[in-house]
Structure 1
Amino acid sequence: MKAQTIRNWFNIHKWTSLVCTVFLLMLCITGLPLIFYEEIDHLIHDELAVSAPGPTPLTKDVVLQAAMDEIPGKEVKYIFWDQDHHPGQMFVTLADSAEAPIEADHYLTMDEHSATVLETPPNEMDFMLVMYYLHVELLAGVPGMLFLGFMGLLFFVAIVSGVVLYGPIMKRFDFGMIRTEKSSRLRWLDLHNLLGIVTLTWASVVGLTGVINTLATPALESWRAGQLAEMVAAYEGQPRVRGALSSLQAALDTAQAAAPGMEVSFVAYPGTLYSSNHHYAVYMIGTTPLTSRIIKPALIDAKTGELTDMRDMPWYLKTIFVSQPFHFGDYGGMPMKILWALFDILTIVVLVSGLYLWFARRRAKAEQLKRMVKNAESAESLTLSTIEEDAE
């Protein structure tokens, strides 16, 4: 490879790394606890005791009515289930109206077997939520999310340029060599290069899936304006349904009958962000760690209880949903989480060593410049002394 080409790749690697390193460090640090989100959440919050199932299972309508009686005068926005981590519990979100902002939401955790309230968590961010929103959007909403996506692209360019630069180095040295007999800066350079290659595949996968995930909100808006609008085109111009709605339990049964082998994960009520003005949007998921990320919405007429439409989500949303478990490493159990955490820590070392090398290089150049100035001044002084001696 020509010297000028190497210099160009070096500049690409240096500047893309410098621009994104601080943000990548933040993502690695906040991502570390998120790998163990469920485990930490269990430690922070007391485990809720769910009663044993009765001889006759309660319908979801009975459980939901108990939640609404707990906070009278509110409308239902969302209902959520998590059978893997919270079996027997139903999570209900209430608010003054379907259009109310998230800051005004009220949350209830219901016991599905007894229709009793297990918990009414406050509408505020705890430690894990702060970590999550810092990691996902810098606490800055969609602009922060897209900004982090751009940092992820720079990170990927830095990875590619680093690999290009590492090739010529390995032609002259053994793989994995660390020159312990050389200066501290060279030792850190060798460690930086070695760990960069070791974490190459992991960093590429996590970086690219992270970039894909930052497009989730724009992709959902595109889905709402496209496919969802097509699915409810027959209801266009009609006012939002209000008052008594059809049975929630019947809507869930209808959705499950239309998607055998899947289970209900989430229900969005009419007028909310993830539904239309006329439907229960029942979101079905698969039953394996990976297919649980494949979401299939069923639209159930909230007045008649009939299935209006059910379609697979478009490819771009499927790509985003499938990329999420690869990003957080939460589809392979604890061994996968531990592996993800180890690579996360190694990547932190790569980023910190990169910053150290940049500062060390600048300091070395500054010292070299000082020596050159000092030598020049000494030479000038010697010349003047010689001239003065000759003049005498």
Structure 2
Amino acid sequence: MKKRTKRAFSIHHWSGLIAGIFILAISLSGVILVFDDKIDEVIYESHAQLGAPAQALRIDKSIGWVRAENQGWDIRVPALPASSDKALLYELRQGQLRRWLFVHPETGKKLSTVEQAHNRFSYVVLNLHYNLLSGTPGKVAVLLVGLALLLLTVTGFLLYRKSVLKVLTFRQRVSLKSRRSLLSSLHRVVGVWALAFNLLMCVTGLSLAITVVNAALKGGTKEVSVPEITASVDAAMAEAGTTYPDFEITYLRFPVNAEGQVQLLGRLRSDPSYYGRFYSKIPLDYETGELGQPFFLSEQPLLDRFLTALHPIHFGDFAGLPVKLLYAFFGLMPALLSISGSLLWFCRRQGKPVKTTRAAKVIR
């Protein structure tokens, strides 16, 4: 074995052993998060379903009492109702705490409350994926695991580069001769097929992890005091639709202090789907109702567009079900590689002959 290959094998070996269990957790949680919106939709269907279709969406009917009854909470509307028979959802945030309010979109009447929305399944899985359920230390650990996965991907390519063409043309098969050959060939085949996807997840995931760690290290949560919204949000949304007909509002974020603004977040319908659903925005003065200068992602420098697109690309939420299923399939590959790599190491350990010590030789 050449010196360079030995070095690559050593890095691959130890990176896999140290980070394997964490890669397994992040891989499986990532697969679940591909479908997080659908999971929430199914679990909370009874909260979101209206008895009769609403005739209009009127944010002004509810934002006043939502603010008054939830002082100290960051107020958002993470998605506008998908159809006229769905409730309007307010998500309230206070640090890691989450509270959901389901409201009638037309009358503004409270329908139901999920007090501990931070305990819902998809959010727990999200925290596992982002911080291993360990706060800031976990966020740093996830960043390091991402670097380890990048090392594993690069060294794996160096080790199996001669097998890439054979695997992709189905000339390299999984061997069933022995348990060790089964694990070795399976690890090789899965690794080659997952190479491009793993590299994509590494680049996009590291971008996210750096952002998350940077935000966590900057300090504690700022005090939230949402000011009274005296302007008509409904009128502003209608004006935005008239002034910028290509702009689709998908998300509302209300100011957390008197210096802030209401943010009408969304996307241009002409944008490519990988720009995401809410990375363009139009600010709104909460007192006068005047719309500010819009920020459209498609008009930003290439580097800014690239870095922003990494986020929706990482989670696969920029396209429909076929792409999500593809993400889920390839998302299982790091988990499978982690398991097969660990079992392969165990088999090699078992297969090694026990060395006779020098003292034992002397006694004989």
Q: 1:114 to 1:305 in 2, by over 3 A?
A: closer
Is the radius of gyration larger for structure 1 or structure 2? Answer: 1
Q: How does 1:1-392 map to 2 (within 5 A)?
A: 3-47=2-46, 48-50=48-50, 51-54=52-55, 57=56, 59-65=58-64, 67=66, 72=69, 74=71, 77-83=74-80, 85=82, 88-93=86-91, 101=95, 103=97, 106-123=99-116, 124-168=118-162, 175-181=171-177, 183-217=178-212, 242-243=227-228, 245-271=230-256, 277-287=259-269, 289-293=273-277, 295-312=279-296, 318-365=305-352, 367-369=353-355, 372-373=356-357, 377=360, 380=362
Do the aligned partners of residues 317 and 150 (structure 1) sit closer, same or farther apart at CA in structure 2, a change above 3 Å counting? farther
Task: Kindly tell me the number of residue pairs found equivalent between the two proteins.
Answer: 346
Counterpart in 1 of 2:221? none
8 Å CA contact retained: 1:192, 1:353? yes
* Inter-partner Cα distance in structure 1 for 2:253 and 2:157: 46
Task: State the shift of 1:296 in Å.
Answer: 1.8
- Conservation of the 8 A alpha-carbon contact between 2:75 and 2:92: yes
Q: CA RMSD in A?
A: 3.5
Q: How far apart in 2 are the matches of 1:42 and 1:134?
A: 20
> Is the contact between residue 64 and residue 229 of structure 2 (CA under 8 Å) also seen in structure 1?
no
Q: What is the CA distance between 1:271 and its match in structure 2?
A: 2.8
Structure 1, unpaired ranges of 5+: 222-239, 383-392
Instruction: Using the aligned pairs only, state the percent identity.
Output: 22
In structure 2, what residue type is equivalent to 1:253?
A: A
Distance change >3 Å, CA 137–CA 102, structure 1 → 2:
closer
Q: Check the 8 A contact 1:179/1:187 in 2, yes or no.
A: yes
Q: Please, what TM-score do these two structures have when normalized by structure 1?
A: 0.75
Q: Is the 8 A contact 1:213 1:324 kept in 2?
A: yes
Greater mean deviation of Cα atoms: 85-94 or 43-52? 85-94
- The structure with higher relative contact order (CA 8 Å, sep 6+) is 2
Task: Say if 1:284 and 1:297, in contact at 8 Å, map to a contact too.
Answer: yes
d(CA) in 1 for partners of 2:176 and 2:255?
A: 66
**8 Å contact from structure 1 (residues 94, 106) kept in 2:** yes
Unpaired runs of 5+ residues, structure 2, are: 217-224
Displacement, 1:102?
5.2
Letter of the aligned partner of 1:277 in structure 2?
A: E
> Any conservation in 1 of the 2:30–2:129 contact (CA below 8 Å)?
yes
Q: Which moved more, 1:36-45 or 1:188-197?
A: 36-45
Q: In 2 relative to 1, CA 265–78 (structure 1 residues): closer, same or farther, beyond 3 Å?
A: farther
- Give 1:84 shift: 7.3
Cα distance in 1 for residues equivalent to 2:75 and 2:317: 24
How much has 1:4 moved relative to structure 2? 1.3
Q: Is the 8 A contact 2:266 2:277 kept in 1?
A: no
